[in-house]
Amino acid sequence: MFVDLSPHFKRAYRSLPSQLQADFEKKIQIFIKDPRHPSLKIHKLKGQLQECLAFRLMNGYRVLFEFSGAETVHLLDVGPHDMYKKR
């Protein structure tokens, strides 16, 4: 699977504490192997973000993403749960 990182995702990732970055690195490996792995708790979003999905990180943080074809995923944002309100 090809993982594309948006510029917004890259900026948000750099601002995360190191423990959240480490959790992301672990979870993205799980995601690449099995995008439907139950530990990720992937869920579809509603409203203006209805085309997007998210998976969980520790401390209530989320990774916002969308699929583009069967083998490509675009990571759009990472942050606390209330990041959905900012989009």
The model's pLDDT over 36-73, given as tens digits with 9 standing for 90+, comes to: 999 999 999 999 899 999 999 999 999 999 999 888 99
**Residue with tokens 């690449």, as numbered in its chain:** 32
- Left if phi > 0, otherwise alpha if psi is -120 to 50, otherwise beta: which for 77? beta
Task: Please give the model's pTM, rounded to 2 decimal places.
Answer: 0.91
CB burial string 38-69: b at 16+ within 10 A, e below: eebebeebeeebeebbbbbbeeebbbbbbeee
Helices (H) and strands (E) in the chain, counts: 3, 5
d(CA 51, CA 23): 25
> Phi and psi of 74, rounded to 5°?
-105, 115
pLDDT (0 to 100) of residue 76: 96
Q: Which domains are seen in the chain, by residue range?
A: 2-86 (3.30.2310.20)
pLDDT (0 to 100) of residue 69: 84
